[in-house]
Amino acid sequence: MRHARILLNGHELNINIDANDRITITEGETLAVALDSDQITWLPPVKEPGTIFALGLNYADHATELSFEPPKEPLVFIKHANTLTGHKQTSYRPDNIEFQHYECELVAVIGKTGKNIKREDAMDYVAGYTVCNDFAIRDYLENYYRPNLRVKSRDSLLPMGPWIVDAADVPNANNLRVTTEVNGKITQDGSTKDMIFDVPFLIEYLSKIMTLNPGDMIATGTPHGLADMQPGDTVVCSIESVGSLETTIVSEQEYYGDNY
């Protein structure tokens, strides 16, 4: 089953989506609307996320692409709720920068509280998975372990969704194809099997440092294959068995309008 949040006819709804793409709300009522309907506005799949952990350089080929040595332990930073936006929404390219790129990532969503979780028990704490696109502004990256505010914490630069897929419906999260298309052309093609630190390792590692709670999310890093984004580009991040997340890039002025 897939779980999402949408706006429909002015109402914010929590929905479930079955294998036949039938949409029901949590009370069990079936909605007579298709998933691709223009009536639907997709929201981030969790209304009030917990801690959003993000991994840097968690694929060796991506580290090499950026001329860094693969890390010997996880490079973890925290994302904030202001960065979140939903499927088929817009993200912006800041003014006067040289290089903004996508990062298609598998996100593990924590389903129950845990501290000092052992690797062999880690998957019991995963409620499901979603897709994120952790956009980065390379101009301001001071070094590989310090992605500062200007790089990773801007409004709208963490599209996520369209939904959360139950963990039981993703048979092996450590062997999923990861692709990105820009304007219909595949520019990134990898697999979660190439993660340096896999999901069970990350859960064990993070839970030694702090308690994990329901709604916490772990964005697990991206493979190689980066490209600069420009206003007007459409980016689709897809992960096998999870879903496809679409984002359109706009200018900073268009995104903020009167607040620019």
% of the chain residues with pLDDT over 70: 95
Shared-domain flag, residues 39 and 157:
no
Structural domain including 28 reads 1-43
Using one digit for the tens of pLDDT, what is the confidence trace for 155-207? 999 999 999 999 999 989 999 999 999 999 999 999 999 999 999 999 999 99
- pLDDT for 144 equals 56
CA 244 to chain centre: 11
Shared-domain flag, residues 192 and 124:
yes
The span from the CA of 27 to the CA of 31, in Å, is 11
The span from the CA of 37 to the CA of 49, in Å, is 26
User: For position 38, which CATH number holds?
Assistant: 2.30.30
Q: What is the mean pLDDT of residues 73-78?
A: 93
Q: What is the mean pLDDT of the chain?
A: 93
pTM of the model: 0.94
Number of domains in the chain: 2
Are 112 and 92 in contact by the 8 Å Cβ rule? The answer is no
Shared-domain flag, residues 187 and 85:
yes
In our burial notation (b when 16+ CB lie closer than 10 A, e otherwise), range 224-255 reads bbbbebeeebebbbbbeebbebbbebbbbeeb
Shared-domain flag, residues 13 and 66:
no
Shared-domain flag, residues 73 and 179:
yes
Shared-domain flag, residues 70 and 192:
yes
Shared-domain flag, residues 49 and 148:
yes
